[in-house]
Chain A
Amino acid sequence: GIQVEQSPPDLILQEGANSTLRCNFSDSVNNLQWFHQNPWGQLINLFYIPSGTKQNGRLSATTVATERYSLLYISSSQTTDSGVYFCAVVGNSGNTPLVFGKGTRLSVIA
């Protein structure tokens, strides 16, 4: 099945710093989502981005489907950005569930 790799596994930032999280996937996809998992375990949808670029406030994401990667940018980080960020994909058959990466654990310190 499709493989998803995220990097880095852990990231520590000073408040106000910028960061880039990467997601590589092994096959063509028709769905790619970025999530933020908060300390209570809730998965919060950040982006639905099988291709192209989207922005939402301090966050933006770019997926280059032909090269099989996606990037999540966090600018001017805040302590509330702390948590685990997951990338998840659905392969091109379209009838499969999300396959998740192992996540990037982000800690933003004041």
Chain B
Amino acid sequence: DTGVSQDPRHKITKRGQNVTFRCDPISEHNRLYWYRQTLGQGPEFLTYFQNEAQLEKSRLLSDRFSAERPKGSFSTLEIQRTEQGDSAMYLCASSLGRIPYNEQFFGPGTRLTVL
């Protein structure tokens, strides 16, 4: 296992279209996180899963956003009716979820551009 992977790496879409991103965590990690990063800022938390349960959602996660982790392995993040303000880097991370072994490891990100 070489780390967290994300697909696609880049996505260009037109306003109003739906997009879906995938994240595959490190295999033994039971926690999976989604973050969003805009230009010049640090990543901001969107949501996270413990196994298949979605435990927390940020207020940044509007009702156009939905995330799933159906079997506690990979996760998908869907954005419906995309807006230009959704343009950002979407980052996925995973961790063991056990203090003190809660170091998070990040994937390469999906860069979304909404035209």
Q: Which positions in A face B, CB cutoff 8 Å?
A: 30-31, 33, 35, 40-43, 45, 48, 50, 86, 88, 90, 94-103
Contacts and interface: CB of A to CB of B under 8 A. Distances in A.
7 contacts: A30-B99, A30-B100, A33-B103, A33-B104, A88-B42, A94-B99, A98-B93
Contacts of A41: 37, 89, 108-109, 111
A40 B108 contact: yes
B48 interface: yes
A35 B41 CA distance: 14
A94 B43 contact: no
Nearest to B42: A100
Interface residues of B, number: 25
Contact of B33 (A30, A97, A101): A97
Contacts, number: 57
A2 to B, nearest CB: 12
Given A41-B89, A41-B108, A94 B44 contact: no
A77 to B, nearest CB: 22
B106 interface: yes
* Residue picked from A31, A35, A97, most chain B C-beta under 10 Å: A97
A88 B43 CA distance: 9
Interface in B30-60: 33, 35, 37, 40-45, 48, 55-56
